[in-house]
Every structure is written in C-alpha cells, then in structure tokens.
Amino acid sequence: MLRRDVIIAAILTLPVFVLEMLGHLYMPFHMWLMSVVSMDVLYVGYFIATSIVLFVPGWRFFKIGIPALLRGAPEMNSLVALGAGAAYLYSVVVTFAPQVLPAQTQYVYYEAAAVIVTLISVGRWLEALAKGRTGEAIQRPVREQAKTARVQRDGKVIELPIEQVKAGDIIVVRPGEKIAVDGEIVEGTSNIDESMISGEPLPVAKTVGASVIGGTLNTNGSFSFRATKVGGDTMLAQIIRMVEEARGGKLPIQQVVDQITMWFVPAVIALAIATFAIWTIWGPNPAYVFGLVNAVAVLIIACPCAMGPATPTSIMVGTGRAAEVGVLFRKSEALQQLHDVAVVAFDKTGTLTSGKPTLTDLILDDDFEHDEVLATVAAVEAKSEHPIAAAIVAAAESRGLTTGKVTEFEAIAGNGVRARSMGGWSPSARSVTSAISTFRISPPPSISSPTKARRPSSPPLTTSSPRQSWSPTRSSRPARPSSPRCTPWG
C-alpha cells in the first residue's frame, strides 16, 4: 500500500514541481511554457494533480492529523496536514477565485503541498521497508522450523503437526532432523547444531539430561527427549516475540521528535495568528488579505519536510543492514545507543570464525615421523563425527597420506575415541583430563596441567600404542573474510 502511494505521489508531484520551479529558475523556459499553455489551464492541471496526491496517498495524514490537532495532542501527521492543507487551500483560492486576493499575491503553492506529502510518504515507506527486512530475518528461522514431530503415543511413534505436541510428550529425533520444541534428552546421544541460537557453528555434544532447543538441527545420532516447552513458550518463540516488540517500538529520537512536534504545532499556529494580527493592524490595504497570505506562508514554511524522512531513513539503513548479516535488536533503543559503543565483546567466537576447524600443529618427539603419526591418528578419527576429527582427517588428505585400517572403533562421548591400529590400541583424547581419567595415560610434565586443559585453546591429545607417544595436536577456526580484526580478551 505504501509503495503504491509513494509511486502515485511521485509520478504526479514531479511534473508539478519541475514545471513550477524550473519556470522560476530559468525564465526562457517560463516564457516557452506560457506560449504553449495558458496560466489558467496550467493552474487547473496543478490543481488536479495535487488534489490526487493529497486525497489519495496523503489522505492518511489528514485522517490522523486533524483529529489529533482537535484533541490538543498534535503530532507529525498534524504538522503535515497543516502545512500541506494551508498551501493547497490558498492555491485553490488563487486558481478559482483570484479576485479576492491582491494581484501581487496571486501565486500558487501546489508544488509545496505535493512535495510535503510525497517526502513524508517516502519516509514512511522507508520505515516500513526497514521493518519488513527485519521481519524477513525473523521469519527465516520460523520457516525452517520443524513442521511435524515424531511423538510416542500409546506405545507407538506417530508423526504429528508441531501444533499438536504437548508438554511431557516423548519425541524421537533422527539424524538430520530439526528439533520441534524445547525439551530434555531422556535417551541417546548426539551432536546438535545450535548456531541459529548461539552463533556457534560447531555442533554441541548432548547426552541424557541435556536440554535441547526447538528449531536447532540434529546433525548425527538418534535420541528421544521429553518436551518441556511448546508453542509460544519455546526459546525461539520468545526471541521472535522480543524482536517483534523492538521492531514495533519507537527509538528515543522518534519520541523526541513527537515531543517537539507536540509543542511546535501550537507554536506555529500561534505565530501564524500573530502574523495575521500584525499585518491586519499595521499592514497596507487590503490589510486582512495580506495578513491571511502571510499567515498561510508561515504555516507552509514551518512544515519540516526533512524531519519526516530523516529518522525512518536512518532506521532503515541501520536495521536493514543488521538484518542482512543476522543481527536482530531485542530493544528498539539499542540501535540508537550503538553510536556510543567503542568496544564490542563476543563471548562466542563462532560469530567471527568460519566454524570449520583446521589442524594447525602436530607436536612430536624427535624419534617420531610427522606423516606416520598423522596418518595413524587420522585413521582412528576418520570414523568419528566430531568436527576436530574432520580437521585431522582433512589435514592427512591434504598431504596425500594413506590411512590404515582400524578395528574395534569406540567413541566415548565427551572424551574421545579409540580403535585398534598397527597392532595396538590408538586412543585419541579431546583433552589432557580425558587422557588421564578415561584412557589412563600419563602425559609429559609439560602438558599435564588439567587447568590448562580446560581452557578453550587447549589442544586435543593423541597417543599411539605400543610406543605410547604423546602427540599433541592443535586446531583452530579461521576468521571469516567479513570479520574485522579482533583482539582476544580475557
């Protein structure tokens, strides 16, 4: 609707504005125009075009603004209606009853009335576009949400629409499926991609008792969970609700504009009345006519056309660009407060990195060959679904290494994997703590600190029997090309 109104207003306003203003700026054009069409016909044409602009696209300003003005609570619509209406009515008098005005005041202001309405309409359209782009960013995860769920009912697993899932239902999730609602795992293990909620692209390991979030993706493994929150109570629904509230709220600067307008409109009316009174008392004859002309001029000039589109345009640029890169504002004032921000702290590195780990280091004792150890570790990790395992395998493949066969592969959730390779057990632990507690391996003193192992930067550690060689590997996630240079903190 707004787009249509803006197009109509622009098409009709442009010729009125160009013909009227160009005639003032370039006199030969005015003389040529008068030789083609008479002034009376031209004014009637202006009248028709401007009437359509004011009473079709611009009618909303009068419908809202005039009642607000009569209630004593004027706002931007009142200001538009006052300025555009005064310019239009004065021009109508000049067009159809010029004899009531002095000859030196018989000028039309149709272009002013049309431009006021068109500019403010453009501002409203830009604001609607900004809200639409944010709404699209909100609806994207909603469209990708699971539409059905496999629910256990009466000893059977049946597929039901997500709207029919109740709190307490046991839901079965297969590999690659979206999780329908929030809940708690009661059986099975898996790795779940929660990037749409947390921003971290690496899947999160989940076991019995862990919570799951509706809308996230089960990457591998099958499990059952008990639904705890459904419908509007889910985390995703609450996030959408907060963003929608922020989208519908006003920025502090918009509230300031409304407050200014509340006082500005009465001040303009008072000034126009004072202008009329002064001209009526001290002006030349016919004094009341000159007073009316100048009072109307005050109303027209006082309409701040730039105030209308300025704030909506800034909102469109800010929220629209943010929505494109996946940033949503929980509170409307957050956008305005960003201009005071000097430092942005990220507690999740996945928002800055590619999310795909790569092997950066493989540290060996002097009597071990790099390629031999990497091939052995890759052979074990090839059967694992852990993202770091994929990084180790990719490193071996990039060097053209041939991985051997492994048997009796076993994955120990949260700790690592092991399998038989080269005649012995080859465990691959995810941390020093896992190596000590799960695989009963004593690391060298240089890397035996469990405190260091708990840090996010600590590497997974691998060892190959029968020689029991500690081979620390370190992986990292490269920064995204679009990420600015960041400094680690804390």
Percent of the chain residues topping a pLDDT of 70: 70
Listed residue (279, 15, 248, 276) closest to 132, CA to CA:
248
Separation of alpha carbons 335 and 130, rounded Å: 12
pLDDT at residue 442, as a whole number: 56
Separation of alpha carbons 328 and 141, rounded Å: 12
pLDDT at residue 449, as a whole number: 46
Separation of alpha carbons 150 and 57, rounded Å: 51
pLDDT at residue 137, as a whole number: 62
pLDDT, tens digit, for every residue of 310-326? 666 676 677 767 766 66
CA 455 to chain centre: 32
Separation of alpha carbons 432 and 449, rounded Å: 8
pLDDT at residue 150, as a whole number: 92
Instruction: Provide the whole-model pTM.
Output: 0.55
pLDDT at residue 342, as a whole number: 83
* Strand ranges of the sheet holding 204-206, from the earlier edge strand across to the other edge: 204-206, 190-193, 217-220
pLDDT at residue 219, as a whole number: 84
- Taking phi first (over 0 means left), then psi (-120 to 50 degrees means alpha), and beta for anything else, what does residue 209 get? left
Catalytic residue numbers, as ranges: 347
Residues in the chain where the model's pLDDT stays below 50:
432, 434-436, 447-471
Separation of alpha carbons 5 and 83, rounded Å: 19
Residue type, 156: K
Listed residue (292, 204, 256) closest to 76, CA to CA:
256
pLDDT at residue 488, as a whole number: 59
